[in-house]
Structure 1
Amino acid sequence: MASTEGLVPITRAFLASYYDQHPFTPLSPDVSRLSSELRSMATDLLTQHPPIHGETTLINEAQTQPPHKIDENMWKNREYIEETIFLLEPSNCPHPPAPDNVEFSIMLPKLKDKLHNTLRTLESFQIKNAEHVFNTVMTYLPQDFRGTLLRQQRERSERNKQAEVDALVNSGGSIHDRYALLWKQQMDRRRQLAQLGSATGVYKTLVKYLVGVPEVLLDFTRQINDDDGPMEEQRHRYGPPLYSLTSMILYVRFFLSLSWARYEYKKLKREQFAVLEQAVDVYTMEFERFITFISGVFANSPFFIPADVAGAVEVSKIDDFKEASVPAGKTFEVILSVDSVNSYIAWDFSLVQGKINMDIGFSLEFVSPTGEKTLMLPHRRYESDQGNFCTLMAGSYKLIWDNTHSTFFRKVLRYKVDCIPPVTEPVQLED
């Protein structure tokens, strides 16, 4: 577990000074020029042939400004790239007569391949960035069974999310439907991270002191995506070029969609093909340059900084171990209150008794407000250093360690009782 002593979460002012050292070379003027030409050609098509059924949504989107969040722009670029690739599939392209068909057969596959490469670059960036964030946060958590638990939660949650996406696709969901779901899932991850940092009362005490999560990490998860928080500086610095690229690929898709729907009445001219081809070339080159740049900035950007840099704060060390003596023939009980629905209670302990491999019984009861007890985990004997966990509803619980099976040995028990959120997942923190 990396120490957070003397550290505080990054601030917007600190990120501003950090970003001063990493300016982004402006986009090529061709981005603006070609975007304008594509938009103009699309407008001409709509003027000559009014919108047909199903085009209203796309027209409205082309007239809307890109999202403010950098993360959402990344997902939008993925969506628009996939939509464009779909339009470039041979089965979805018009079939012009020769000699135009020869030009089609040469140019369109090249455009499709370039967009495929850019799509893979973007997907790789998002995966690596999520892993970097998750692994960095994990370095500030106790390196014991809790880390394993969090990783298991993450893997299980991601499997469930993928199953949800697969079910949508198998039921005939569109590319747009799939990306709407993917963005909803991403927002769910962000809310769960913020909820960890915003925990209050008994639950925060459990998270901070019993789980051993440093206060600085809780502050970080709560503040990182505030509207005027650290990531707003990132949006201010690097948002504008990304917004331009988001609009550009949208205009490529917009123009292609309108063109294919009207190809029977309005054949594309050679100069229009040239604009389309150049637009894809410039977009893929500039977008990949932006991704390469921003990857380096994100990978080296600190999450925490010394307190004397951002302002003095009080940071203390936390020892989350407790020790108890459980005599032979006796039990040891801990009463625990949980105020977060579907939390996890986790425990770990070690037994000190010479070189003998000792064990101890354990069970868990729910205690109702009237004092009625319900057995949650049946009594079972555990060996040394064997941890476990279960999902709980809000309420009071009694954790019972049982040494009644022993007639000779007193057990020296070191234990941790932890309450952590049901899902702690990686999120894109670049917005």
Structure 2
Amino acid sequence: MAASTEGLVPITRAFLASYYDNHPFTPLSPNVDTLSSRLRSIADHLLSQFPPNQGESNLINKADAQPPHKIDENMWRNREYIEETIFLLERSNWPEALKQQSTPDNVELATMLEQLKHKLHNTLKSLESFQIKNAEHVFNTVMTYLPQDFRGTLLRQQRERSERNKQAEVEALINSGGSIQDRYALLWKQQMDRRRTLAQLGSATGVYKTLVKYLVGVPQVLLDFTRQINDDDGPMEEQRHRYGPPLYRLTSMILSIRLFLSLSWARYGAKKLEKEQMTVLEQAIDVYTSELQRFMTFISGVFANAPFFISAEGAEAGKNDDYKEISVPAGKTYEVLLSVDSVNSYIAWDFSLVQGKINMDIGFSLEFESPSGEKILMLPYGRYETDQGNFCTLMAGSYKLIWDNSYSTFFKKVIRYKVDCIPPVTEPAQAD
């Protein structure tokens, strides 16, 4: 939909299609499907001799199902399955007969398993790094188009606070003995929370409801973008259509590897692995790790260079009319009184000198005045040419922002400023 602000238009699926036409992905190696099939054939042979237990049946059903047609979700699933495979390759989780390494063949196998674990570990770290960089790229792009004042600062602080809370959730789950699968279920839920939060910025609902009046000056095109970017038939659907299929095949491949190892370990006492089977495993992990790394390298470049907006020239986000301009005479002060109703509200300010000689500055401080008239300095006095910041209140009541030109004998100071009191921003309530 065409935006009305500065001529900006959000990317469309048609535009992305033309962009992606210039960035074709070289097809995956045919060994991806060949080796996946061979591993599954070995697994099926084991199952014909030793029927699966309940846990194995669940894993088989997962391997038989089609991967979700979402790039983001497949990235998380690859992380989960890689980590589960690494877990199986840990020496402590090997079959007892293999741990003993009583034969030269076992010693050779143990060495190979350590090498395969190392390859998967490196791939896992690359995947984690890919996801972090991609999330930062999206967030920083959004922030570029936000007004460059305390609103952007508060959104950054909100994100940092939210990420700390999410990390604490994960750590609590780990400390309580949660499984790898439990942890990734939580990580995916948190990813969906991030996506909802991004959409909430576009519609000023949920966590941003209390900030709605402060979104004045944010380009409407940015709000449209954050609200619709992940719609089922939105711009990202073209990305899923174009680059999803090779990733989905890699998801199936790591599941085949995991299933093969899980079944083999459970039956190792009765049916030792043949050398040919271990060769297939080695080849499969080699192909999987190299092809997934190639996919991530390719898609990182495509994502980093793909535009979020069309015809962005001339967009001057952040300019708005809610600044005031006042003159502070020599020897005088200027004060702004704010009434704060709730603790954990933010008092935010943005000011700069717009008139005066070189190296001129003005004093600035923030104080709290209690109902009894007692004054408490909350922000130490300092002298600035320009400053932007915020203060989280510990008490409700009256706060005074003070610009001090009392030390000047001859020169008035003209300041352009904006201040506001913003209610507490809290996380949305989680549904049970």
Q: TM-score, normalised by structure 1?
A: 0.78
- For 2:70, give the aligned amino acid: K
Q: State the partner residue of 1:206.
A: 214
Instruction: State the shift of 1:297 in Å.
Output: 0.6
Equivalent residues in 2 for 1:393-404, closer than 5 Å:
401=401
Q: State the partner residue of 1:182.
A: 187
1:243-268 per-position Cα deviation (integer Å, ceiling 9, x unaligned)? 00001001101110111011112222
Matching of residue 278 in structure 1 with residue 312 in structure 2: no
Matching of residue 133 in structure 1 with residue 138 in structure 2: yes
Instruction: State the shift of 1:126 in Å.
Output: 1.6
Q: State the partner residue of 1:229.
A: 234
| Counterpart Cα distance in 2 of 1:121 and 1:389 | 37
| Counterpart Cα distance in 2 of 1:143 and 1:405 | 27
| Counterpart Cα distance in 2 of 1:423 and 1:24 | 42
**Paired residue total:** 405
Matched-pair contact (CA < 8 Å) for 1:208–1:215: no
Identify the range of structure 1 (180-189 vs 354-363) with the bigger mean alpha-carbon deviation. Answer: 354-363
Q: State the partner residue of 1:11.
A: 12
1:163-220 per-position Cα deviation (integer Å, ceiling 9, x unaligned)? 33223222222222222222222222111111111117995442123xxx22222221
Matched-pair contact (CA < 8 Å) for 1:5–1:316: no
| Counterpart Cα distance in 1 of 2:300 and 2:426 | 26
SS in 1 for 2:31: helix
Identify the range of structure 1 (215-224 vs 39-48) with the bigger mean alpha-carbon deviation. Answer: 39-48
Equivalent residues in 2 for 1:32-431, closer than 5 Å:
32-94=33-95, 95-96=97-98, 98-144=103-149, 146-199=151-204, 203-209=211-217, 213-306=218-311, 318-324=320-326, 332=336, 346-350=348-352, 357-359=361-363, 384=384, 385-389=386-390, 401=401, 414-417=416-419, 422=425
Matched-pair contact (CA < 8 Å) for 2:67–2:74: yes
SS in 2 for 1:54: helix
Matched-pair contact (CA < 8 Å) for 2:210–2:425: no
Instruction: Mark the CA change 1:225 to 1:398 in structure 2 (over 3 Å): closer, same or farther.
Output: farther
Matched-pair contact (CA < 8 Å) for 1:362–1:382: no
- For 1:46, give the aligned amino acid: L
Instruction: State the shift of 1:344 in Å.
Output: 5.2
| Counterpart Cα distance in 2 of 1:343 and 1:25 | 52
Instruction: State the shift of 1:240 in Å.
Output: 0.6
| Counterpart Cα distance in 1 of 2:255 and 2:197 | 31
| Counterpart Cα distance in 2 of 1:345 and 1:231 | 38
| Counterpart Cα distance in 2 of 1:259 and 1:5 | 62
Instruction: State the shift of 1:276 in Å.
Output: 1.3
Identify the range of structure 1 (79-88 vs 183-192) with the bigger mean alpha-carbon deviation. Answer: 183-192
SS in 2 for 1:289: helix
SS in 2 for 1:228: coil
Matched-pair contact (CA < 8 Å) for 2:348–2:390: yes
Instruction: Mark the CA change 1:104 to 1:421 in structure 2 (over 3 Å): closer, same or farther.
Output: farther
Instruction: State the shift of 1:93 in Å.
Output: 1.3
Matched-pair contact (CA < 8 Å) for 2:145–2:318: no
1:259-307 per-position Cα deviation (integer Å, ceiling 9, x unaligned)? 1011112222232222212211111121111111111111111111117
Identify the range of structure 1 (191-200 vs 324-333) with the bigger mean alpha-carbon deviation. Answer: 324-333
SS in 2 for 1:112: helix
The runs of 5 or more residues in structure 2 that have no matched partner are 428-432
Matched-pair contact (CA < 8 Å) for 1:202–1:337: no
SS in 2 for 1:348: strand
The runs of 5 or more residues in structure 1 that have no matched partner are 366-374, 425-431
Instruction: Mark the CA change 1:36 to 1:329 in structure 2 (over 3 Å): closer, same or farther.
Output: closer
| Counterpart Cα distance in 1 of 2:424 and 2:296 | 32
| Counterpart Cα distance in 1 of 2:334 and 2:129 | 56
CA RMSD, Structure 1 to Structure 2 (Å): 4.1
Between the two structures, name the one with larger relative contact order (CA 8 Å, sep ≥ 6): 1
- For 1:131, give the aligned amino acid: E
Instruction: Mark the CA change 1:189 to 1:422 in structure 2 (over 3 Å): closer, same or farther.
Output: farther
| Counterpart Cα distance in 2 of 1:22 and 1:218 | 28
Identify the range of structure 1 (347-356 vs 98-107) with the bigger mean alpha-carbon deviation. Answer: 347-356
| Counterpart Cα distance in 1 of 2:345 and 2:112 | 55
Percent identity over the alignment?
Answer: 68
Instruction: State the shift of 1:324 in Å.
Output: 4.8
Matched-pair contact (CA < 8 Å) for 1:325–1:413: yes
| Counterpart Cα distance in 1 of 2:190 and 2:198 | 13
Matched-pair contact (CA < 8 Å) for 2:150–2:390: no
Instruction: State the shift of 1:83 in Å.
Output: 0.9
SS in 2 for 1:25: coil
| Counterpart Cα distance in 2 of 1:66 and 1:345 | 48
| Counterpart Cα distance in 1 of 2:341 and 2:70 | 38
Matched-pair contact (CA < 8 Å) for 1:8–1:304: yes
Matched-pair contact (CA < 8 Å) for 2:405–2:413: no
